[in-house]
Structure 1
Amino acid sequence: MSESKIAERNIPGMNRHNRFVEVEHAENVGDTLKRVLTYFAREKMLVIAMLLIVVFGTLCGVYAPSLQSEAIDIIAGTSDGSLRHTLAFMLAAYLCYSGSQLFQGLISARLSQRIVRRMRGELFDKIIDLPVKYLDTHSHGDVMSRITNDIENISTTVSQSLPSLISGVLTVMGTIVIMLWYCWQLALLSFLTVGLTVCATKVLSKKVRKFSRRRQKLLGELNGTALEMISGYRTVVAYNHQDITIDDFCATSDAMTKAGIRTDIFGGVMGPIMNCIGNIGFVIIAAFGGYFAINGRISVGVISAFIVYARQFSRPINEIAQIYGQLQTAIAGAERVFDVLDEEDEDKTGELLEEQESAAVTFRNVKFSYKEGCPVLHDFSLTVPSGKKVALVGATGSGKTTVVNLLMRFYDIDGGDIFINAQNIKDVARDSLRKNAAIVLQDTVLFSDTIENNLKYGNEKASREALEAAVDMSRCKEMIQMLPQGYDTVLTGSGNNISQGQRQLLAIARAFVADPKILILDEATSNVDTRTEKAIQDAMQLVMKNRTSIIIAHRLSTIRDADIIVVMDKGRIVESGSHDSLLARRGKYYELYMTQYAGFAT
Structure 2
Amino acid sequence: LVTVIASVIAPSMQSRAIDSLVAGEFGRVPKILLTMLALYAFHAGATLLQGFFSATLSRNVIRRLRAQLFNKIINLPVSYLDTHSHGDIMSRMTNDAENVSTVISQSLTSLFSGVLTLLGTITVMLSFSVPLTFLTFSTVILTVIVTKIMSYLMHKFYVKRQVLLGTLNGIVEEKVSFGKTVTAYNLESRTIDEFTKASDSLTKTGIIADIIGNAMGPLMNMLNNCSFVIVAAIGAWFALKGYISVGVISAFIIYSKQFSRPINELAQLYGQIETAVAGAERIFSILDEPGEDHGPNLPLNVSGGVIEFKNVNFSYVKGKQIIHDFTLKVEAGKKIALVGSTGCGKTTIVNLLMRFYDIDSGSITVDGTDIREISKDSLRDSIGIVLQDTVLFSDTVRANLKYADQTISDQKMIEAAALANCDKVVETLSDGYDTILTGGGANLSQGQRQLLTISRAFLSYPKILILDEATSSVDTRTERNIQDAMVRLMQNRTSLIIAHRLSTIQDADMIVVMDKGRIIEKGTHRELLAKGGNYYQLYMTQFAGNSI
Smaller-chain TM-score bracket = 0.7 to 0.9
Task: Please give the per-residue CA displacement for 1:447-500, whole angstroms capped at 9, x wherever unaligned.
Answer: 222111211123434332222222223223232122222111122333233333
Query: Partner of 1:291 in structure 2?
Result: 237
Pair 1:346 & 2:294 matched:
yes
Question: Aligned letter for 1:308?
Answer: I
Pair 1:60 & 2:6 matched:
yes
CA distance in 1, matches of 2:359, 2:119: 62
CA apart distance, 1:575: 0.7
The structure with higher relative contact order (CA 8 Å, sep 6+) is: 1
Helix, strand or coil for the counterpart of 1:449?
coil
CA distance in 1, matches of 2:540, 2:83: 37
CA distance in 2, matches of 1:527, 1:257: 42
CA distance in 1, matches of 2:374, 2:251: 77
Question: Aligned letter for 1:65?
Answer: P
CA apart distance, 1:165: 1.5
With 488-497 and 546-555 compared, the bigger mean Cα shift is at 488-497
With 125-134 and 517-526 compared, the bigger mean Cα shift is at 125-134
With 447-456 and 126-135 compared, the bigger mean Cα shift is at 126-135
Q: 1:370 aligns with which of 316, 322, 344?
A: 316
1:303-322 aligned within 5 A: 303-321=249-267, 322=269
Query: Partner of 1:531 in structure 2?
Result: 477
CA apart distance, 1:435: 2.5
Q: 2:511 aligns with which of 559, 562, 565?
A: 565
Query: Partner of 1:95 in structure 2?
Result: 41
CA distance in 2, matches of 1:379, 1:262: 54
CA apart distance, 1:587: 0.7
The answer to whether the 8 Å contact 2:87/2:169 transfers is: no
- Cα gap change, 1:303/1:337 in structure 2, threshold over 3 Å: closer, same or farther? farther
The answer to whether the 8 Å contact 2:323/2:517 transfers is: yes
Query: Partner of 1:550 in structure 2?
Result: 496
CA distance in 2, matches of 1:210, 1:369: 36
Task: Please give the per-residue CA displacement for 1:150-185, whole angstroms capped at 9, x wherever unaligned.
Answer: 554554444433332222122223323333332334
CA distance in 2, matches of 1:80, 1:542: 103
Question: Aligned letter for 2:15?
Answer: S
CA apart distance, 1:378: 2.9
Task: Please give the per-residue CA displacement for 1:479-533, whole angstroms capped at 9, x wherever unaligned.
Answer: 2122222111122333233333322111011011222222110011222233333
Q: 2:17 aligns with which of 59, 68, 71?
A: 71
Query: Partner of 2:458 in structure 1?
Result: 512
CA distance in 2, matches of 1:200, 1:430: 54
CA distance in 2, matches of 1:390, 1:291: 99
CA distance in 1, matches of 2:209, 2:311: 63
Helix, strand or coil for the counterpart of 1:438?
strand
CA distance in 2, matches of 1:485, 1:251: 43
- Identity in percent: 53
Q: Which runs of 5+ in 2 are unaligned?
A: none
CA distance in 1, matches of 2:383, 2:171: 45
The answer to whether the 8 Å contact 1:394/1:568 transfers is: yes
Helix, strand or coil for the counterpart of 1:493?
coil
1:204-219 aligned within 5 A: none
Question: Aligned letter for 2:438?
Answer: T
CA distance in 2, matches of 1:547, 1:220: 45
Helix, strand or coil for the counterpart of 2:328?
strand
1:332-343 aligned within 5 A: 332=281, 335-336=284-285, 338-340=287-289, 343=291
Pair 1:584 & 2:530 matched:
yes
Q: 1:433 aligns with which of 364, 369, 379?
A: 379
CA apart distance, 1:147: 4.5
Query: Partner of 2:412 in structure 1?
Result: 466
CA distance in 1, matches of 2:173, 2:85: 21
- Cα gap change, 1:252/1:540 in structure 2, threshold over 3 Å: closer, same or farther? closer
The answer to whether the 8 Å contact 1:595/1:601 transfers is: yes
Query: Partner of 2:397 in structure 1?
Result: 451
CA apart distance, 1:269: 7.0
CA distance in 2, matches of 1:337, 1:497: 34
CA apart distance, 1:314: 1.8
Pair 1:595 & 2:522 matched:
no
Query: Partner of 1:476 in structure 2?
Result: 422
The answer to whether the 8 Å contact 1:157/1:330 transfers is: no
- Cα gap change, 1:268/1:412 in structure 2, threshold over 3 Å: closer, same or farther? closer
Question: Aligned letter for 2:293?
Answer: D
Query: Partner of 1:382 in structure 2?
Result: 328
- Cα gap change, 1:423/1:210 in structure 2, threshold over 3 Å: closer, same or farther? closer
The answer to whether the 8 Å contact 1:57/1:101 transfers is: yes
The answer to whether the 8 Å contact 1:130/1:345 transfers is: no
CA apart distance, 1:83: 1.7
- Cα gap change, 1:266/1:349 in structure 2, threshold over 3 Å: closer, same or farther? closer
- Cα gap change, 1:74/1:101 in structure 2, threshold over 3 Å: closer, same or farther? same
- Cα gap change, 1:78/1:327 in structure 2, threshold over 3 Å: closer, same or farther? farther
CA apart distance, 1:74: 2.2
- Cα gap change, 1:328/1:132 in structure 2, threshold over 3 Å: closer, same or farther? closer
CA distance in 2, matches of 1:219, 1:104: 32
CA distance in 2, matches of 1:116, 1:224: 23
With 550-559 and 313-322 compared, the bigger mean Cα shift is at 313-322
Pair 1:359 & 2:308 matched:
no
Helix, strand or coil for the counterpart of 1:495?
coil
CA distance in 1, matches of 2:310, 2:198: 61
The answer to whether the 8 Å contact 2:513/2:535 transfers is: yes
- TM-score normalised over the length of structure 2: 0.82
- Cα gap change, 1:213/1:405 in structure 2, threshold over 3 Å: closer, same or farther? closer
The answer to whether the 8 Å contact 2:159/2:275 transfers is: no
CA distance in 2, matches of 1:225, 1:120: 23
CA distance in 1, matches of 2:171, 2:317: 35
Query: Partner of 1:396 in structure 2?
Result: 342
1:184-195 aligned within 5 A: 184-192=130-138
- Cα gap change, 1:261/1:447 in structure 2, threshold over 3 Å: closer, same or farther? closer
Task: Please give the per-residue CA displacement for 1:29-60, whole angstroms capped at 9, x wherever unaligned.
Answer: xxxxxxxxxxxxxxxxxxxxxxxxxx332222
CA apart distance, 1:233: 7.2
CA distance in 1, matches of 2:521, 2:170: 47
CA distance in 2, matches of 1:297, 1:378: 91
The answer to whether the 8 Å contact 1:153/1:333 transfers is: no
- Cα gap change, 1:331/1:419 in structure 2, threshold over 3 Å: closer, same or farther? closer
Question: Aligned letter for 1:297?
Answer: Y
The answer to whether the 8 Å contact 1:352/1:428 transfers is: yes
The answer to whether the 8 Å contact 2:296/2:373 transfers is: no
CA distance in 2, matches of 1:228, 1:200: 42
1:15-54 aligned within 5 A: none
CA apart distance, 1:573: 1.3
CA distance in 2, matches of 1:181, 1:548: 87
With 62-71 and 464-473 compared, the bigger mean Cα shift is at 464-473
With 128-137 and 174-183 compared, the bigger mean Cα shift is at 128-137
